Chains A and B, each alone.
Chain A
Amino acid sequence: MTTSVLDPTAEEESENRVRIKRLTSINGATIGLLDISKPRGDIFLDTVQSLLENAGAKVLRFTKPTFSKPAPVDLRHEIATTCDAVIEALAD
């Protein structure tokens, strides 16, 4: 006998988005550095920033209010509209 059940899931599928092309050069690009507010993330990103700037990139720094929650929509929008690429830093 066939059993019929109700779907316990959200009945939604992930949206597939096409990735933007990788940067061919860092020189002249604007790179965002997102600190997720884990301890010592700033130390890691300070080093990354100086390496990027030495390679000719412009660096913008961003910080999530807390590592434990998703980045606010406004912050994601700001990064997306002002940067060519973003590096997100985990730390501990």
Chain B
Amino acid sequence: MVNDRPRLPDGYVAFVKRDCPTCELIVPVLKQLADTNLLGAIYTQDDPSFPSLSVTKDDTSLKMSFLHEIETVPTLLKTKDGSETGRIVGWSKQEWGSFCDIEDLGPKDMRSYSPGCGSRNTDPDLQGELRKNFGEGVSSRIIDFASAEDEFEAMYDRGWSDGLPLIPPTIERVLAMLEGTSRQPEEVVGLAPPNLVTLTVEKIAINAVMAGCKPEYLPVVITALETACTDEFNMHGVLATTMPVGPVLFINGPIRKSLGMNSGMNLLGQGNRANSTIGRALQLTIRNVGGGRPAEIDRATHGSPAKYGLCFAEDEESSPWPSYSEDLGFSPSQNTVTLFPGEGPRLICDQLSRSPDELARSLASGLLGNAHPKLVMGFDCILIIGPEHASRFSEAGWSKDRVKEEIINCTVRETDELIRGAGGIAEGLPEAFAGTSLPKFRPEGGLIIVYGGGEAGLFSTIIGGWLSGPKGSQYQTREITP
């Protein structure tokens, strides 16, 4: 994020501030170096008159300190042909002596060692301003709100909001957000549907700021958007459909903990910043960059609160089973995001089952309602098994694969009951499917099992999917890269 470093005078160059006692201490040393014409410049960060020497230069703007990435004062650079060839920090008589190749550097009675202080350009409060003034910067259009405009109302007025307030994406905030990724601002992540607009890391960062993300969430948001923009996930269709679905995200790997994500009590609910803002950042990007707005390309009949952004983490630590990402072959140290075209969550309440067989039958009956009880195989589903339900299975020694298989087996129904008109209900499978039996979910991948939720409560939760497969949306898991 730093430009090519500006040229320096040859010889030695020091960076100091008056506020640093070590810098005060070494003034005689700096004078000695200046008097012998070894010192080409002293850049002073807080007081242009300190030290009072002819080579002292004003760096109160911190430009040189920032661009040369000074972290400590004093710092002494050795320079040749305008560029740095070495640096030392703080004061050590011996180290400075050998660095400058001078045996009797400084007064004899001078303290031989003193650590330095923090360089002013490392002040956290100045980071945004410094990056704005001297960093590589960003290329998006800058919009100046009128002085009489309320900034929050101004963002609503411009149509950027999903209905909730937004954080103003100031340059400082966006630059700070971009620090969360190693990718360059101009890197293209994909084509944002529905308008198939070139989507850059910078535009994602702007929307992530507005959503309320912290910079460390940005890699998750970028990977989620990379996934959303694939033909397989088909964000265009997920957005445009009349059904109430949006991109549901769940996270696996150590990043869940480092971001402080909630995988336990109320994991699908309010109150956790990462859970609440990562999915929102994705949706705001689709809205603002892709142009996907409700009642325009988004044709949802009812929609769902999940379309503000639904993101949660799997509770890998308490789970009796390997994590979802481990099931897919990822290692426990890999971070992944899974994107699923899903509805809002719904409870399956079963407080009476004690054996795994009873509970498998019970959960299966709850899952039959996904999309419609007479429609099968076409809609995938996430089943979030709560800790108390999971213990019914794990205590009986059931693996996750077995749980899935048993549940799917319990959903098998005679298709004569499912065809159109059967049971006095017009909706159903075409007549051609009569005379056989089918499970509710396609056996390979139709039911995703994730572990999570609070310790108390004999509940599980389902998140119903949209049209599965190549004709609709194929849910996907990707490794999150920094």
Chain A residues with CB under 8 A of B146 = 2
Q: Tell me if A4 counts as interface (CB < 8 A to partner B).
A: yes
Residue numbers of B with Cβ under 8 A of A are 138, 140-147, 149, 151, 154-155, 160, 168-171, 174, 192, 195, 197-198, 202-203, 206-207, 210, 231, 234, 236-237, 240-241, 284, 288-291, 467, 470-473
Question: Is A6 a contact of B284 with CB atoms below 8 Å?
Answer: no
Interface pair B144/A10, CB less than 8 Å apart:
no
* A11 sits at the interface (CB 8 A): yes
Say whether, besides A68-B234, A68-B237, A70-B236, A7 and B206 are in contact (CB < 8 Å).
Answer: yes
Contact B145 A2 (CB under 8 A): yes
Set B160, B241, B470: member contacting A9, Cβ < 8 A? B160
Q: A6-B174, A10-B289, A68-B473 are in contact. List 12 more A-B contacts (CB 8 A).
A: A2-B145, A4-B144, A5-B142, A5-B145, A5-B170, A6-B171, A7-B140, A7-B141, A8-B140, A9-B288, A10-B192, A11-B141
- Give the secondary structure class of B's interface: mixed
Q: Distance in Å from the Cβ of B82 to the closest Cβ of chain A?
A: 34
Task: Give B148's nearest chain A residue, CB to CB.
Answer: A2
- Confirm or deny: A20 has a beta carbon within 8 angstroms of a beta carbon on chain B: no
Q: Could you list 11 examples of A-B contacts with CB < 8 Å?
A: A3-B168, A4-B142, A5-B142, A6-B171, A6-B174, A8-B289, A11-B140, A66-B237, A67-B471, A68-B471, A69-B237
Report yes or no: A68 in contact with B467, Cβ–Cβ below 8 A.
yes
Does the CB pair B473–A5 fall under 8 Å? no
The answer to whether A7 and B143 touch across the interface, beta carbons within 8 angstroms, is yes
Residues in A with CB closer than 8 Å to B169 are 5-6, 8
Specify which chain B residues have a CB less than 8 angstroms from the CB of A69 in the assembled complex.
Answer: 231, 234, 236-237
Tell me how many residues of A have a C-beta within 8 Å of chain B: 19
A81 to chain B, nearest CB (A): 22
- Quick check: A66 and B168 within 8 Å, CB to CB? no
Q: Is the CB of B140 within 8 A of A6?
A: yes
Task: List chain A residues, Cβ under 8 A from B237.
Answer: 66, 68-69
Given known A-B contacts A66-B472, A68-B234, A69-B234, A10 and B145 have beta carbons under 8 A apart: no
Q: Which of A2, A4, A70 has the most CB of B within 10 A?
A: A4
Across the interface, which residues of B come within 8 angstroms of A18, CB to CB?
none
